[in-house]
Structure 1
Amino acid sequence: MTVIVRDLRPDVRADAEGFSHVRRLALPFMLSTPESVLHDLTRSHPDAHFGQLVAEEDGEIIGTAQVGLAHDSPKPGQGSANIYVRPDRTRHGAGSLLLRAAEERLAGLGARRIHSWVLDEPHHRAFAERHGYRAGRSAHFLRLDLAQGVLPPLQDPPPGVELRTGADFAGDPRPLFALDAETASDEPGDIDTELTDYEAWLEQTWRHPLLDLGLTTVAVVDGHPAAFTAAYTDGSARYGTAMTGTARAHRGRGLAKLAKNTSLHRARAAGHTEAFTGNDTGNGPMLAINEWFGYEVCATEVRYVRELG
């Protein structure tokens, strides 16, 4: 049986379905649909040179790679290659072939450093280290049982604060872009991010097929968004938090906690039974908030890095 690596074909529905299926098996705590796979491929910024590779064995997709440049980083030459193989089809050579193809593509694009998320499990870490990668910072995946868990009671917003949904900003999302840009720049990570392109943000983030504007919740102070939690749903009973943050001028008031609690209650009322989120292990404040909600760590990833010559 021979494994081949090729580009995902956006005009072939089975490719997107196979890609999403592998991601759900390898990372069951992340939401993925064929529509989100195609969106990521076709709506990414041209400067990201984003690509999706698949490893195919006997006509079946058994592995995936997401490859691109961090075009929104102030430091040039930052590449990423995230490789995932079906848990029941490892050791068939798919991971090595995908990584080689990803590295060759990134080197050709001028990348000087490649970042790769790797599950914090012995065989995954050993794979990365065999290929010359060194471990960096880590992040937790967290899960909350919305069906059986006990959420903190809903609270009325304090005086001067109003809770709105993302749908309330459908006519003009620019204030949410400004808030997202400010909070993203403060988020801990290996690659600094500067969101400056509003039109690109509209295409990639605001129009993402997983973004649920009805469950996305925004705390507004004096008419301006001050804190928010962005909600993802995939048409099943699963709910995910894509981003939660507070403007610097309003931190320490519990507004992010207020927005996220409201979103979680709305998600449960809408029939969602599982909630997922992720946090850098160094993000103590957000980890504490999620622990307060009842989230528990369900997996950990480590960001591995390789310097190219």
Structure 2
Amino acid sequence: MLIRTARPDDAPGVVALRAVVHPYLVRGVESTRQMIAQPPPGEDWTAWVTEVDGQVVGWASAYRNSRTSEPDVGEISTLHVHPEHRGRGTGTALLTAALDHLRAIGARRVVTWVRPESLPFARRHDFAPSRELRYSALDLRPAPPAPVAPEGVLLLPAAGLDPRRLHRADVASAADEPGDVPSDAISYASWHYEVWENLGLDRAASTAAEVDGELVAFSLVKRDGDRMWSDFTGTVPEYRGRGLARLVKQAALHRAATSGVRVAYTSNDEANAPMLAINTRLGYRPVASGWSCLRELS
């Protein structure tokens, strides 16, 4: 077993591993390669792989959370370990590398995400379960009907938008999203890299609602072939309660389906009742669950 820093050429192996371990997560080869080759600015992002006989059998990344005003928060992405290589120290080796990196960059609090069956492993490493997460899927065959926008609301593809307008709507919508730390400090530079320049972003399917010249709701689509991930759907606080989140999400799903997407995935905090209700009405079904877990670093 060899653990080493990830290289861009590891992207195909990482995506193949993810398809086995977490088939409901969507990030394609090119966007994974992009992240390894050009990490997000200001996050001290680093990733590692575990390799056996030239095959990637483990993956993890660790980074500074640059989306929150809380100081010294680090995150570890969901550990990926191939089922045939578990119980051999692979997960522990990856976790140790990630924690050492977070200590080195000054993190004092760590957030990670695990499947329910991995909670004993997390507890053994001093992580405490915090919030439950639901993963859901929607079959887009046949395509959802195109919604009819109410008077005064324009539905616009992200492809024709000024990204700064979309960033402002994202910041306003995400500030009170349920989570272990608030997403209230999303810089434009980080957002532009992670969202707008992401090679998986389908700008033609991603949809925003405009009212009186202001972007007030949006639904982002990240795509890998015929699979998509609803990256974030949000409404600025002043315009909530008008059905705009469901409107933009249905429009985005319709546009994605008509361009060849066959299944959509998403995730939600179990405390986010409004978004869970929207997804249920759109036809999403639960396919997996997870937990955020917290640990303090000395």
Q: SS of the counterpart of 1:75?
A: coil
Deviant stretches of 4+, over 6 Å: none
- 1:57 Cα deviation from its structure 2 partner: 1.5
Residue aligning to 1:5: 3
- 1:225 Cα deviation from its structure 2 partner: 0.8
For residues 246 and 41 of structure 2, what CA distance do their matches in structure 1 show? 35
Q: Which residue identity does 1:135 align to in structure 2?
A: P
Change (3 A) 1:224 1:43: farther
Residue aligning to 1:72: 67
Residue aligning to 1:108: 104
Unaligned runs of 5+ residues in structure 1 are none
For residues 277 and 106 of structure 2, what CA distance do their matches in structure 1 show? 39
1:49-198 superposed matches below 5 A: 49-82=44-77, 83-121=79-117, 124-147=118-141, 151=144, 153-169=145-161, 172-198=162-188
1:254-273 superposed matches below 5 A: 254-273=243-262
Q: TM-score, normalised by structure 2?
A: 0.95
For residues 45 and 280 of structure 1, what CA distance do their matches in structure 2 show? 24
Larger mean CA deviation between 46-55 and 153-162 belongs to 153-162
For residues 289 and 75 of structure 2, what CA distance do their matches in structure 1 show? 18
Q: Retained in 2: the 8 A contact 1:44–1:204?
A: no
Q: Which residue identity does 1:279 align to in structure 2?
A: N
For residues 266 and 72 of structure 1, what CA distance do their matches in structure 2 show? 29
Change (3 A) 1:194 1:87: same
- 1:42 Cα deviation from its structure 2 partner: 4.1
Q: Retained in 2: the 8 A contact 1:113–1:308?
A: yes
2:216 matched to 1:226?
Answer: yes
2:238 matched to 1:249?
Answer: yes
For residues 258 and 43 of structure 1, what CA distance do their matches in structure 2 show? 34
Q: How many residues align?
A: 297
- Aligned Cα root-mean-square deviation (Å): 1.5
- 1:43 Cα deviation from its structure 2 partner: 4.1
Q: Which residue identity does 2:30 align to in structure 1?
A: E
Cα deviation, 1:187-246, whole Å, max 9, x if unaligned, reads 111121234422332222101011000000111101111111001111x21122100000
- 1:44 Cα deviation from its structure 2 partner: 3.8
